[in-house]
Amino acid sequence: MDINILLALQDFRNSTGAFLADFFAKMTWLGELSMTIVIMALIYWCVSKEFGSYLLMGWSGNRLVNGLLKVTFCAYRPWIRDPRIVPYGNAITTATGYSFPSGHTMNAATLFGGGAVRRDVQRTLRVVLGILVALVAFSRIFLGVHTPQDILVGAVAGTLVMYLTMKLMQWVTDHPEKDLWVVGIGVLLGIAVAVYAAVKPYPVDKDEAGKVLVEGAKMANDTFKGVAWCMAFLTGWVLERRFVQFSTDVPMMKRFTRLAFGLLSYYLVCLIIVPAVKNWISGTAGTFVSCYLQMFYVAFIFPWLMKRFEKQDA
């Protein structure tokens, strides 16, 4: 039934021309991992440290949940299950790993759903944020890279994680000395998910030519990335809380400075340091270390740099 829904959407997409497909291609961009990280980082650095920490904490949890579910169910992408499915444009290039659940949808559930579940956010804005989650989710099936169950579970699981994260952050606010417990439990969960992804058996279905349809070890790579990002945020978060304590309650000009320097330095890390690490350290270890450095820069190194530079300018 899910394939029939995708085929019907594909026929509708092809019959209506490119304008709807282009619109939903832009919507899916809002759920891409790189865009999600940048927006959350800028909120954390320049707008609201509290809200940014909450988003990054929830996103870290969502990456663990997404990675765990992907390697547990090992669901093939729609075009692998049925060659009649032809994804639109270059949407297939960002469709990595197994299909279930949708990572883009869980990213959107973090970034936009994270605001929608908070009662301190204006009601109208919460409605708009909920609509954005729905649009990103629908874009994944409209473009032919996910099934309805992928996006439904992604949206529900992602929003639930953000609700639980909201409660967790409230608890940490009431018990600040317990932050190490959060980090310890999170790191242990990350290790458990990584070990599970590394040792579990994966399907070895083959096509008519005898070629394996999907190599499970490669698909598990997304799970290892999620574990690295999660561990990096947790360790950076607790180090910042205990030794840096930077604030977003600063003049507007300092916020603009942080935004400009943050974007420039973050992209230097992603475009120079991360590829260099991957070339230096091969395989899963290189993936883990490079992703860890990427998120540790967001959570700790940049706030530490800004605290030092702004103190000198004061």
**pLDDT per residue as tens digits for the range 272-292:** 999 999 899 988 899 999 999
User: What b/e sequence results for 29-60 when a residue is b if at least 16 CB atoms lie within 10 Å of its CB, and e otherwise?
Assistant: ebbbbeebbbbbbbbbbbeebebbbbbbbbbb
The pLDDT confidence band at residue 122, using thresholds 50, 70 and 90, is: very high
Residue with the bigger pLDDT between 163 and 19: it is 163
> How confident is the model at residue 56, as a pLDDT?
98
> How confident is the model at residue 313, as a pLDDT?
65
For residue 176, is pLDDT > 60? yes
Residue with the bigger pLDDT between 248 and 217: it is 248
Share of the chain above pLDDT 90, in %: 78
Predicted TM-score (pTM) of the model is 0.94
pLDDT, the chain, mean: 92
The pLDDT confidence band at residue 239, using thresholds 50, 70 and 90, is: very high
> How confident is the model at residue 303, as a pLDDT?
97
For residue 189, is pLDDT > 60? yes
Residue with the bigger pLDDT between 209 and 45: it is 45
The pLDDT confidence band at residue 314, using thresholds 50, 70 and 90, is: low
Per-residue pLDDT averaged across 165-179, rounded?
96
Helix 49-73 to helix 33-42 angle (10° resolution) is: 160
Distance CA 61, CA 42 (A): 19
The pLDDT confidence band at residue 231, using thresholds 50, 70 and 90, is: very high
Nearest in space to 223 (alpha carbons), one of 74, 38, 6? 74
**Residue 212, beta-bridge partner list:** 206
Per-residue pLDDT averaged across 293-307, rounded?
96
> How confident is the model at residue 90, as a pLDDT?
78
Total count of domains within the chain: 1
For residue 12, is pLDDT > 70? yes
Distance CA 166, CA 162 (A): 6
How many other CB atoms are found less than 10 A from the CB of residue 283? 10
The pLDDT confidence band at residue 205, using thresholds 50, 70 and 90, is: confident
The pLDDT confidence band at residue 57, using thresholds 50, 70 and 90, is: very high
> How confident is the model at residue 310, as a pLDDT?
84
Task: Give the domain range for residue 289.
Answer: 2-313
